[in-house]
Structure 1
């Protein structure tokens, strides 16, 4: 029964055989200073995962994560963590699109953990994840936020490289997204995709790119009608808002028009603030 389902903590697959693979983790802690600005409080990184704080001409700092391995394949393990202490504000992004390559053995694992203290605001805006033919990937994103914190989250998936004429005939992707506000589960999105889901209209309907935008704030519902009116030609999307949440889901035949459409939505939900510099539009 649906009402018996419960989200489970992410577990790493056992890998057999054990091949040489990439492993990395990066953790950043941001703190609000006495003057009201936000600054780096702690940074730890190892392996192929790195984190940078580029110089920006904006009041809100940017935290950029990157995978020096260039992508994720079977057996790889990549972990990012971003913690915002009370009152801190930051924009989190990835330096480039994450690529999931063909897997010869095992499953590539990606984990993201985000925490927002009281009054904090995080705009988590990673660039798109591109799924390659033959890839096998599992990603888990867990968010813990205070009752009065604000989260803006945009996640995009691209199925193959359209410019190279790539069609996906075999892949496996599992994505588990969980948000807890004040300890209560308020958003849970388990997603499992393979090649059989690409064409049917009841699934992806031939879309080459899909995206989800989630905005969690005390007044999130107020933006619903404005966001709905932004829907452009060539991109299908729907918007819902309830209980301090706004969720947008979008489908497009190509990644570029979708990314441009998302930029308009983010401009509104970020109250006119510029997108992260790493976004190339």
Structure 2
């Protein structure tokens, strides 16, 4: 018979790390372990691409995932993820994800991961750190979706901490943090919070020419069903968007990317 007094089984946790080093002529080094994989699709146009994958299928309590890209001087690369990342119910410690991006002198990196879906009861802490050398720049995108609207999901219990920092020569030049929890969702209709939005995106360009892109960004912030705004602090362009559903949000992001960069979208994206 089932023994209710027996201790709960210890669940296996997922861990993975993938690190890609790229030079101006292509791949220099690749290391991967556990559930983290990195693929380099054969490209005929646009920037060379790196596609990261978490083979565990999602992040649950205690999982750890790490993606890293190092670009040598002069390298220009686009990095993305093969599919949306999913954060599942966590009964104890949160899942932890880290992204480490380093861009050498004169290099450029587009970090364009697909969306992160936060399910009911999920707990995820994510930290993205970017180190830029002199003359280097980057474009950073993050898309967050609360549950699946088509399935009638309206998450009410979430623990999510997301931080992005960019440094140049060790000096902090950009910091962006987001925290969502049960209390924040309860007061979501307050000023400067989500309202009825279930999908949100933040796009940041960090480069000396970034403020010059402000007019282009504002010109395309008119996708139906999406509320968006753009600002241009010195050396940066920051765009934020909110939507009730993820498809209008993705359409808006695609239009922004087309306006702000000359290269094709990641080939792996479904558009």
Bin for the TM-score computed over the shorter chain: over 0.9
2:268 is equivalent to residue 278 of structure 1: yes
Distance (Å, rounded) in 2 between the aligned partners of 1:200 and 1:81: 36
Q: Describe the superposition over 1:16-38 as per-residue Cα deviations: whole angstroms up to 9, x where unpaired.
A: x96410000000000113xxxxx
Q: Describe the superposition over 1:185-239 as per-residue Cα deviations: whole angstroms up to 9, x where unpaired.
A: 0111122111332332421112110000000111111110111011123211110
Partner of 1:242, secondary structure, is coil
Shift of 1:104: 2.4
RMSD after superposition: 1.2
Partner of 2:196, secondary structure, is coil
Give the structure 2 partner of residue 25 of structure 1.
17
Shift of 1:182: 2.1
- Seen in structure 2, the aligned counterparts of structure 1 residues 58 and 75 have a Cα distance that, compared at 3 Å, is same
Distance (Å, rounded) in 2 between the aligned partners of 1:135 and 1:253: 20
Kept in 1, the 8 Å contact 2:46–2:264? The answer is no
Kept in 2, the 8 Å contact 1:168–1:195? The answer is no
Q: How does 1:1-281 map to 2 (within 5 A)?
A: 19-33=11-25, 39-198=26-185, 199-202=188-191, 203-232=193-222, 233-271=224-262, 273-281=263-271
Q: Which runs of 5 or more structure 2 residues have no equivalent in the other structure? A: 1-8
Q: Which runs of 5 or more structure 1 residues have no equivalent in the other structure? A: 1-16, 34-38
Number of matched residues? 259
List, as ranges, runs of 4+ consecutive aligned residues in structure 1 with deviation greater than 4 Å. none
Kept in 2, the 8 Å contact 1:23–1:47? The answer is yes
TM-score with structure 1 setting the length = 0.89
TM-score with structure 2 setting the length = 0.93
- Seen in structure 2, the aligned counterparts of structure 1 residues 182 and 237 have a Cα distance that, compared at 3 Å, is same
